[in-house]
Structure formats: structure tokens, C-alpha cells
Amino acid sequence: MSFKNHLLFLASAALLAACGRTATVTQIDIIPEPVFQMQKEGSYTLDRSIAVSTQGLGQNSPTAKYIMNSLRHAHFRPSLVARSEESDIDLIINDTINPELGDEGYLLEVRQTGIRLSANTETGLFYAYQTFSQMVPSDVLEHTYSSITLPECTILDYPRFAWRGAHLDASTHHFPVKFIKKYLDLMATYKMNRFHWGLGDSDASTLSPESISDTTDSIVYEDLDSRYTEEEIAEVVEYAASLGITVVPEEGMELVWDDEYSVTRPGEELKRIVAARTSLQAGQQAARAGCRVVMCPDEWCRLDFYQADRRYQPRATDGQITLAKAYEFDPAPQGTNKYVEQCILGGQCNLWTEFIETPSQAEYMLLPRLLAISESLWSPRDAKNWNHFRKKVELQKSRLDSKGYSYCEGSFTPLFRVTRVDDHTMNIAIETEVPSTYIFYTTDSTTPTRHSQVYLGPINLRRGTHIKIQPVYKDTERDSVYEFVIK
């Protein structure tokens, strides 16, 4: 190649790099599932230079700053403009309160003339942006896009429960502030708003009871041990507040566990908030006694339990909660007494760290089950759909990759649905928790390989048949061979 041609090649490469990629989004899949979502025929295209207008929101407000910084991290070039007629994205605090949205709801509209995010409060606007951030390509943090075309749509959304919490035991093993912030970022992405920070008995008084409210002005610091300094705790509380998250103390005056609690205590005590770990029934009993209840029963919410076949997982607490099991969580299931339901603030997932020593391990145990808990706490009961959710989780994995989170791929233990055909034959349907898993199987007692039969749909097998299954996901054998006898 001549020197001249070499220069032309370098110039062309530089031009292509400057232009970046283009993307056209055709389907919107949000976690947690919105209350209402409607996609239309039109579209709107964003280029790298994004004009942003604000109405009822100061340009230096925390939410406006957060959104502008987030757009920059995604390789956009945002600028503030005075008029919505000149903008690509409008950020609007409603002049007139929309009662349907409440304090945390929002309206997101992609129109053919631009994108409009509106809410009654900055918190609602913050959540509107979290939804918008899931609409753009998952790798925007890693690659520069010259244009992104979004489908015309309307999303109206608000939470089912006010308390959408996640817990971290930081007393058994210490986790640095950098990781605590990363945890808070994860919570904010999926619209969770209570961080239950287990600092241990000696640190229980470092956060005052007032910190359980939506303000963080009354933080006191006493009896600190060497784990976190006063400055570090203040830094975490302030950072959480910037994400709409309230930090909740463990063993604090306003929060007690139900396994340490008796509903026969004096009436004054019953005004406390009870974190109902033992069971939904125990939590409902406390609610009937006049308590305000946060549901976090171990059966669905204890994320230090194994999340897949323990033979192929890092050591964890005895017990198993798969992604599918976590998704079954409902703080107020169908049929809950209306009075009791009014006393249920919401729920949270809990991560105890007896066997978790590093941030990477903690992320692995949280993800993707935290996504299931978030949808269970935010979305209407009727909007939840397991098959749709597990497909959304697959899309979210690439977003988690781009942000550097560690996560479990999921459980590959085969799930069987067996129905009787006749006295000697059963119809077998097989799937795994993770979509797009190939299932290779044999029925002649040989070990399945990639040359064995591929499961394509329900099959009829005689009783007594010995079936062996090998799951393959992303071109890799997962776990080992599973064996079952059809009965």
C-alpha cells in the first residue's frame, strides 16, 4: 500500500469511527414491567448531539444533572436549550398534579417530533429516565452510536408498592463504598428505593430513626467501629439520596424482624415497621395487629440461598431460590384482606454474606434474582408474565455485562411437565429456566452428546423410560447430565 493510500485508509477509518454505529429499536422490553405500554407505527431518531429542555425543573437540579451526566457516559453530546420546540428530549415537572402518577410515577412519550418525560416529582422523572435508558441499545456505554431510532410509544407507569427494598449484610464481610454505590446504581436502574444496610450491632446506632423517612438530614454517628468511617456513611447516604433511595438501618428503632417480634406487645410498640421474614402469614398477622409491614419471607426473598443446582454453584446458604421462584413473590397475593393489604408497605430481598466475601460474589448472588423482586414490587400483579420476564432477563444480561456486573446465568435443571396419555404412556414437556437453552437427550441409557436428539417439543415416552438430558447454552455444556425415570 502506498503512503498516500495508507493515509486515505487511516482517514476513512477515522471517519467511520467518528460516525459510529446506527441502531433501530423495534421492541421495547422494560424491567420492571410498566403499568401501561403502547407502541405505535412512527419513530424518532436521536443523533449524538441531543438537545434537552427542562420545564418546572432547574437545570442544576439533581435529576437534571444526573440525566445530563448519564447521557454523556453513553457517548451522547447533550446540551440544554430554552425551548421545547428546539429539543430532542423534554424533561417536565407537571404544573398540575396528575393523581394517577403519584409521587413516583411518570409518563414517557416517544413522538415523531421528540421524546417527552413528565412526572409530578423529580423522583418520577428519574424513573422515567431509567425506563428510557433501557430503551436504547444495551452497549451504549461501550460503543458510540451516530444515531438511534426509537419506536413511537406511550408508557404510563407507577409503582404497586411504596417500599421496594434490597438488603446487604456488610457486618459479616466488609464491602467497600465503591461497591455499595454500584449496588445502589443497580437498585436505581430497576426502580428500587430502600437500601437496608446491615452494619452490625455495633453500628446499629450510626443511622438515626429519622433516616428511615424520605429525608436524610437527621443522620447521627455514634459507636462507629473500623468498618466504615463517619465520612463513608455520609457519602453512601448522600449518594443514595441522589438516586431516590433511602438508607435504612438494621436493628434500628423503626425496623424489627418478625422472628424477634411478638404481636402481643403493647399497642405503642405495634406502630413499628415489621420486616416479615418468616412467612407471608406471619407478616399478615402483624398487619392485622396494626403494624406496618415489609414482606421479605425467606421462601422467596433470601438471596444468599442457592439459585441453581448446588453441585455447580459457589458455596451458599442451604436452601434454593431460583429466578422462577423469586418471580413468584407477591407481598400481598390474590385474596389478601383489603385492610391487611393497606398495612403492607411492600417488600425487599435480603442478602446475608456468611459465604460471600467479595463484591463479585455478592453481585452473582443478587443477579438476576433482584430483577424478579423488582418487578414483583413495582409492576401490577396482572402485568407479570414469567415467560415474557425470562426473555427480558436475557436482554438485560447484555446491559449488566456492559456495566461490569457479575451474574448467574440461571438454573439449567430441566423442568418437566408430565401428563398421562394412557396406562403405559406419558407426554413429557421439558424446558429450563433460561430461554434459548438447547436440550439434547437420550432414552437408551447412553450419555447424551451434541449428536443426540434435540428436544423440539413435547414427546410421548413409556413409563419406566430412563431419559438423560444435557443442557447446552451459548454453545457450552451447562452443569452435567441430568437423569430421570418416567413414572
15 pLDDT higher than 80: no
Cα separation, 476 vs 1, whole angstroms: 42
Higher pLDDT, 258 or 419: 419
Q: Is residue 88 a contact partner of residue 46, using CB atoms and an 8 Å limit? A: yes
Peptide bond into 32 cis (omega under 30): yes
HSE toward the beta carbon, residue 292, CA cutoff 13 A = 11
Residues 6+ apart with CB under 8 A from 140: 74, 75, 148, 402
Q: Report CA-CA distances (Å) from 196 to 10, 40, 232, 402, 425.
A: 53, 40, 16, 26, 52
Q: What element of type H or E holds 30?
A: none
Cα separation, 370 vs 32, whole angstroms: 11
Q: Report CA-CA distances (Å) from 381 to 33, 133, 334.
A: 10, 24, 9
Q: For residue range 215-256, what is the model confidence (pLDDT) as tens digits?
A: 333 333 333 344 799 999 999 999 999 999 999 876 854 667
Cα separation, 250 vs 57, whole angstroms: 35
Out of 3.40.50, 2.60.40, 2.40.160, 2.30.30, the CATH code matching 415-485 is 2.60.40
Q: For residue range 25-81, what is the model confidence (pLDDT) as tens digits?
A: 999 999 999 999 999 999 999 999 999 999 999 889 999 999 999 999 999 999 999
**Highest mean pLDDT: which range of 10-14, 209-213, 346-350:** 346-350
- Angle 122-135/62-73 helices, nearest 10 degrees? 10
Domain 22-157 has CATH 3.30.379.10: yes
Q: How does the average pLDDT of the chain come out, rounded?
A: 88
Domain-wise residue ranges, the chain: 22-157, 163-385, 415-485
Cα separation, 103 vs 86, whole angstroms: 28
Q: For residue range 80-111, what is the model confidence (pLDDT) as tens digits?
A: 998 888 899 999 999 999 999 999 999 999 99
Cα separation, 102 vs 82, whole angstroms: 27
The mean per-residue pLDDT over the stretch 440-456 comes to 95
268 pLDDT higher than 80: no
User: 163-385 in CATH: which number?
Assistant: 3.20.20.80
Largest CA distance in the chain: 90
pLDDT at position 211, please?
39
19 pLDDT higher than 80: no
pTM here is 0.88
pLDDT at position 202, please?
41
